[in-house]
C-alpha cells in the first residue's frame, strides 16, 4: 500500500500538525487539515482522500462533531477509510462508528506515540480492515460481564435455559436432567421472572429467554 492521500481533522493545532508530520513519509500525502467538522467535510468532498483521521470531539460544542462528520463521509463516500481518534474510551460512540462497516477504526490518541503500530493501523484500514483500540475491547468485555442478564440465574436454571436454546420441550428437558416435568416448569417460570420477561399477548417469552441466552454467549 503506497501513496495514501489523507485528511487530518483536529481542533488542537499542535496535535494536528504532529499527525501531519508523522504522515510526511513517501507512502502518505496529507492533502488537507481541518479544525472542525464542517471544514473536514469540505476538504473530503474536494480532495476525495483515501483516509480521514478525525477527532471525535471538535468545535463548536465538543461533543460528537467528529463522529457526525465521519457518519456523513461514510454515507457520501463509503470507500473512504476513517480512523477516529479519541482522548478517552467512549464505548457508545465507538460502537456506532464500528457498526458502519469496513475501512474504519477507533484508537486512543495515546496510541499515536507508537509510530510503527499507528502506521500499521492506517494501512489495515486503507486495505479494507477495521482497527479497534485494545482499551475499547477491554471495556466491552468488562461491560458485558457487568451486564450479563444471566447472572441472576442459578446453575440449574442456566442448565434449563441452555436446553431450551437447543429447542427441547419441558418434557425433553426433564428427561435430560432427570427431574420431573413439574420441576422444569417451575425453573422456566423462575427464568422468565428473573429475565424480566412479563406476560404479553404478542411475544413468546420462551423465545425471548432463548435470545437473551444466545446474546450472552
**Domain that includes residue 184, residue range:** 149-216
35-39, 85-89, 144-148, 193-197: lowest mean pLDDT where?
144-148
Based on the fold, state whether residues 97 and 55 are members of the same structural domain: yes
Based on the fold, state whether residues 135 and 212 are members of the same structural domain: no
Is the pLDDT at 1 greater than 50? The verdict is: no
Based on the fold, state whether residues 140 and 153 are members of the same structural domain: no
Place 2 in a pLDDT band, splitting at 50, 70 and 90: low
Select from 144, 173, 200 the last residue of a domain: 144
pTM, rounded to two decimals: 0.64
Q: With beta carbons less than 8 A apart as the criterion, state whether 59 and 38 touch.
A: no
Is the pLDDT at 105 greater than 90? The verdict is: no
Based on the fold, state whether residues 22 and 105 are members of the same structural domain: yes
C-alpha distance across the termini of the chain, in Å: 37
How much of the chain, in percent, has pLDDT values that exceed 70? 87
CA angle, 101 then 106 then 110, to 5°:
170
pLDDT for res 146: 54
C-alpha–C-alpha distance, residues 34 and 23, integer Å: 15
pLDDT for res 73: 94
CATH code: domain of residue 22: 3.40.50.2300
Based on the fold, state whether residues 109 and 168 are members of the same structural domain: no
Is the pLDDT at 186 greater than 90? The verdict is: yes
Based on the fold, state whether residues 47 and 125 are members of the same structural domain: yes
Based on the fold, state whether residues 76 and 165 are members of the same structural domain: no
Residue whose C-alpha cell reads 467528529 in the numeric block: 66
* Count of structural domains within the chain: 2
CATH code: domain of residue 212: 1.10.10.10
C-alpha–C-alpha distance, residues 137 and 128, integer Å: 20
Select from 109, 144, 179 the last residue of a domain: 144
Based on the fold, state whether residues 87 and 190 are members of the same structural domain: no
Based on the fold, state whether residues 117 and 202 are members of the same structural domain: no
Is the pLDDT at 65 greater than 70? The verdict is: yes
Residue 82 β-bridge partners: 52, 104
Q: Which three cell numbers stand for residue 45?
A: 468532498
Select from 83, 118, 144 the last residue of a domain: 144
Based on the fold, state whether residues 155 and 189 are members of the same structural domain: yes
Based on the fold, state whether residues 116 and 69 are members of the same structural domain: yes
User: How many H-runs (helices) and E-runs (strands) does the chain carry?
Assistant: 10, 6
pLDDT in tens, 142-170: 655 555 677 788 889 989 988 888 778 89
What is the mean pLDDT of the segment spanning 189-214? 74
For 51, the 3-state DSSP assignment is strand
Based on the fold, state whether residues 14 and 117 are members of the same structural domain: yes
Q: Where is pLDDT greater, at 160 or 201?
A: 160
Place 24 in a pLDDT band, splitting at 50, 70 and 90: confident
C-alpha–C-alpha distance, residues 8 and 40, integer Å: 8
C-alpha–C-alpha distance, residues 82 and 100, integer Å: 10
What is the mean pLDDT of the segment spanning 168-185? 92
Amino acid at each position: 500500500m503506497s501513496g495514501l492521500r489523507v485528511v487530518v481533522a483536529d481542533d488542537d493545532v499542535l496535535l494536528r500538525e504532529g499527525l501531519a508530520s508523522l504522515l510526511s513519509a513517501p507512502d502518505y500525502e496529507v492533502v488537507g487539515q481541518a479544525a472542525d467538522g464542517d471544514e473536514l467535510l469540505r476538504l473530503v468532498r474536494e480532495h476525495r482522500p483515501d483516509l480521514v483521521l478525525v477527532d471525535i470531539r471538535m468545535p463548536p460544542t465538543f461533543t460528537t462533531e467528529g463522529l457526525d462528520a465521519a457518519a456523513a463521509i461514510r454515507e457520501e463516500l463509503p470507500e473512504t477509510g476513517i480512523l477516529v481518534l479519541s482522548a478517552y474510551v467512549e464505548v457508545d460512540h465507538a460502537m456506532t462508528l464500528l457498526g458502519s462497516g469496513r475501512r474504519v477504526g477507533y484508537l486512543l490518541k495515546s496510541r499515536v506515540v507508537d509510530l510503527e503500530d499507528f502506521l500499521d493501523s492506517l494501512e489495515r484500514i486503507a486495505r479494507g480492515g477495521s482497527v479497534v483500540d485494545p482499551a475499547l475491547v477491554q471495556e466491552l468485555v468488562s461491560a458485558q460481564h457487568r451486564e450479563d442478564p444471566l447472572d441472576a440465574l442459578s446453575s440449574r436454571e442456566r442448565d434449563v435455559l441452555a436446553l431450551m436454546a437447543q429447542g427441547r420441550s419441558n418434557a425433553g428437558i426433564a428427561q435430560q436432567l432427570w427431574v420431573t416435568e413439574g420441576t422444569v416448569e417451575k425453573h422456566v417460570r423462575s427464568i422468565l421472572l428473573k429475565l424480566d420477561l412479563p406476560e404479553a399477548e404478542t411475544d413468546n417469552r420462551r423465545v425471548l429467554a432463548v435470545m437473551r441466552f444466545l446474546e450472552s454467549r
